[in-house]
A and B are shown apart, each in its own frame.
Chain A
Amino acid sequence: MSLERKDDHDHGGWMKSRDLSPVEKGYLTVLIWLDRRLRIVDYLELMEDLYYKANLQMPKSHTEQYNLDNKFWYWYPLYALGSFSTLAYVVAAISGALLGFYYSPSTAAAGAEGELTVAYASITFIMTELNFGYLLRSLHRWSAQVMVAAVFLHMLRVYFTGAYKEPRELNWILGIVLISLTMVFGYTGYLLPWDQLAFWAGQIGVEMSLSIPLAGEWVAQLIFGGFSLSQSTLQRMYILHVFFLPFITTALIAIHIGIVWMQGIAEPH
């Protein structure tokens, strides 16, 4: 008795019985090797399913089936807002990653003048000297604005079409978490240029966290790195903006969309 694992389904024998060209043989060998380890077949089935569903005649939507078009066709453009905000998120992620190549979160004095900080100087560099830098920053900023706007409108659409009801309560709460994270994203990003607006918005943030009963000072130190704005504030905002929030938000968006996929789109009845 050999210790070698035997080929239960005799794929080798099957391959020998076929008259295969070297290309086909190589392809099948790789496919079988991968499939025995990763069970690709299951995923192929999924792909097949998607392919056929997209190419078949689409089943009638709820609206068409019950001839309700005249009742609420006007809701329909609003059903794209969720995907619109995801799209804006992706654009912001790409342009943000590129901006990260040129930005440095430092409040140290830049150059001999001693007036400007390194963070502010890097923004100025991006906007004035870097090729297409202004477009990059502009794209990041606009996609962020568009994402926030789309997320708000998405919430209103879900509210007014009653799409948060019975099977979807969890996703509604997840959406509240996501909209809050979006606003925190916006806030931390707003602070990064370290201009007057950023500085004083940061000041408000410190005061808000200090006003929380009992835990206020602890929160201010954890998030803003002290009771007044400094290098550690900017650095923490930067790490929140480019490290913590992206991971958390991306994961939650994936879950949010996954749940929508599992439960289906709620159409108004």
Chain B
Amino acid sequence: MAPSDETDEEVRADGTGIVPPDDETPTWGERKTRSQGLSRLTYEYFERSRREDQDMRMESSYVERDVLGFPTWPHEMIRNLAITSFFVGMMIFLSATLPPHIGPPANPSQTPAVILPDWYLYWSFGLLKLGPLNPDLAILGGSKLMADRTYGVLANVVIVGFIAIVPFLNKGSARRPVEQPFWAAVGVFGVVFSFTIAALSVKNLIPMDPNLLFDLTFLVPPVAGFIAYAVLRTMREGYMFELNRRYYRLRPPK
């Protein structure tokens, strides 16, 4: 070919030059599969991520925030295995002392005074009773856009959906409630609301005016959330001071 080839040294195929060693040189078939479509992309991405790992290892700037997780084995599992028999024993003790009650047999012709699901569905059952909040439109002559029970089922879907997308709304590396007072307050709001809405669902059993109970159901959770927010904001000042003190000791502010 070109004269320059003759002046150069012989092509090194042992892995020290830019040419890959003979036994690693891809065949034409391999080259073709690598240069096509999704397999090509996968290959390139894996190369990149392997490179990323390598770089991170080389830099080794290991700071506290880089700890993403602690090994499940043995730390957590040892603890969990150790308390296994305690927990199982606790369940056996409970079931031996408090056997379940058998209710009267099903009777379709007699509606019981109190209809309730199991306790863990109270919140969902309470959401079915949001009829008074179902908006009606003036255009439709005051009739409701959707039936009350459809509205209740929709409320369930909305709440579960909101919980599901929390990780995509609250980002960042804050972990503890003191570091993120707002989201901790949202959590407190949710917990308190689940209790108040459960109380609303069993309103027949609660000696209180149903209208007052309905109002309290929606008033108490925001108040609790607000208090949690205020407390955590106050705690954060002192907490951040403690956390930063070591830093200031090393490098005092001017």
Contacts and interface: CB of A to CB of B under 8 A. Distances in A.
Interface of A: 50, 53-54, 58, 61-62, 66, 71-72, 79-80, 83-84, 87-88, 91, 107, 115-117, 120, 123-124, 127, 134-135, 137-139, 141-143, 145-146, 148-149, 152, 156, 159-169, 172-173, 176, 180, 183, 186-187, 190, 193-201, 203-204, 207-208, 211-213, 229, 260-261, 263-269
Interface stretch (B19-27, B47-55, B64-72, B202-210): B64-72
B150 A211 contact: yes
Given A139-B95, A161-B175, A195-B102, A172 B167 contact: yes
Nearest to B184: A160
B149 A208 contact: yes
Nearest to B90: A146
B103 A204 contact: no
Contact of B68 (A115, A138, A263): A263
B149 A207 contact: yes
Which 7 pairs of residues, A with B, have the shortest CB-CB distance?
A264-B69, A138-B95, A199-B106, A211-B149, A195-B103, A169-B167, A83-B80
Contacts of B1: none
Contacts of A265: 69-72, 75-76
Contact of B95 (A66, A142, A161, A169): A142
A22 to B, nearest CB: 38
Interface stretch (B9-17, B33-41, B118-126, B211-219): B118-126
Interface string B57-82: 00000001101111111111011100
Contact of A87 (B84, B102, B107): B84
B105 A115 contact: yes
Interface string B107-125: 1101110011110110011
Given A173-B164, A269-B173, 14 more contacts: A54-B78, A83-B76, A83-B80, A120-B106, A135-B95, A138-B99, A156-B191, A176-B160, A180-B160, A207-B149, A211-B150, A264-B69, A267-B69, A269-B175
B200 interface: no
Nearest to B100: A141
B95 A53 contact: no
Given A141-B95, A165-B167, A87 B67 contact: no
Contacts of B72: 260-261, 264-265
Contacts of B191: 156
Interface in B169-197: 170-177, 179-180, 183-184, 187, 191
A148 B4 CA distance: 77
B87 A87 contact: yes
Contact of B106 (A196, A208, A264): A196
A165 B79 contact: no
Contacts of B163: 176
